[in-house]
Structure 1
Amino acid sequence: MPWRAKKGRYNFMGTECAECRKIFYPGRPYCQDCHKKTADKKLSGRGVILTYTENHTAPVGFEKYVPYMIAIVELEEGPMVAGQVVGDTSKISIGKKVHTVFRKLFEDGDSGLIHYGMKFELDE
């Protein structure tokens, strides 16, 4: 399947249990509670910050991105997600509302291929 055809590349996708309606991110084929099959579900990408930290260290190749903020976000649909917070983070706080944005993650040094993914941004 071509990468452009994968729903999860440009949408914030999880799964929902057909039986008990529990929502998972990342998605999984079966519900961990009732063990029934799940189906793809597009998530809102909206949530609230439960906790956060400012990171001053980075893996090799990502040193130019420090410092950066990482937050644990509880999505409107229920799952908790860890992700980078981008944009103006000077007003970040626990309880602040956020939404997902599609941003550059990194560049492949050998091929120059740019990889994109979801990050969080503070609501106005």
Structure 2
Amino acid sequence: MDPRPLPRPSALTAPYWEACQRGELAVQRCRDCGRRVHLPEPACPHCGGADLPYEAVSGHGRVHTFSVVHRAFLPGFQVPYVIAWIDLQEGVRAFGGIVGDLAPEDVRIGMPVRVRFDDLPGFGRIPNWRPA
């Protein structure tokens, strides 16, 4: 199997990936309006503020929606796999794979999940989600 494509951190996303390497899930929080922002943005989509430091969050959430992928469009993904949007306790949504000893047909909207950091060869730790 060909290797999976690796994330390409930028100046904007580097703090996110650095937190992942420490085993922390971090999202931006606008200093002007206090709202959390994810995926990373250069300006707050709520108020336009430009001061968006990253803060660690709990890593607890619930499945908002998901898809079971049966055909890989990139190398390095073994099908079937589940990708999902997760509603974090802190009021922001995160994205990632649902992993663990769970069949894809057992994933449910509203299911409680917790972040898990897995090693991606050639890159480091990436966040995934497992049942809580």
What is the TM-score of this pair, normalised by structure 1? 0.77
Quote the offset at 1:16 in angstroms. Answer: 0.7
Quote the offset at 1:43 in angstroms. Answer: 1.6
Quote the offset at 1:99 in angstroms. Answer: 0.7
Quote the offset at 1:29 in angstroms. Answer: 3.9
Show the counterpart of 1:9. Answer: 21
Question: CA contact under 8 A between 1:13 and 1:25: conserved in structure 2?
Answer: no
Question: CA contact under 8 A between 2:62 and 2:113: conserved in structure 1?
Answer: yes
Question: CA contact under 8 A between 1:27 and 1:40: conserved in structure 2?
Answer: no
Corresponding letter in the other structure for 2:82: M
Quote the offset at 1:8 in angstroms. Answer: 4.4
The list of structure 1 runs, each at least 4 consecutive aligned residues, that deviate by more than 4 angstroms after superposition, is none
Corresponding letter in the other structure for 2:72: A
Question: CA contact under 8 A between 2:20 and 2:125: conserved in structure 1?
Answer: no
Does structure 1 residue 99 correspond to structure 2 residue 114?
Answer: yes
Quote the offset at 1:87 in angstroms. Answer: 0.4
Corresponding letter in the other structure for 1:117: I
Of the two, which has the highest radius of gyration? 1
Corresponding letter in the other structure for 2:114: H
Does structure 1 residue 51 correspond to structure 2 residue 65?
Answer: yes
Gaps of at least 5 residues in structure 2 are 1-13
Gaps of at least 5 residues in structure 1 are 108-112
Q: Which protein has greater RCO, CA pairs closer than 8 Å, 6+ apart?
A: 2
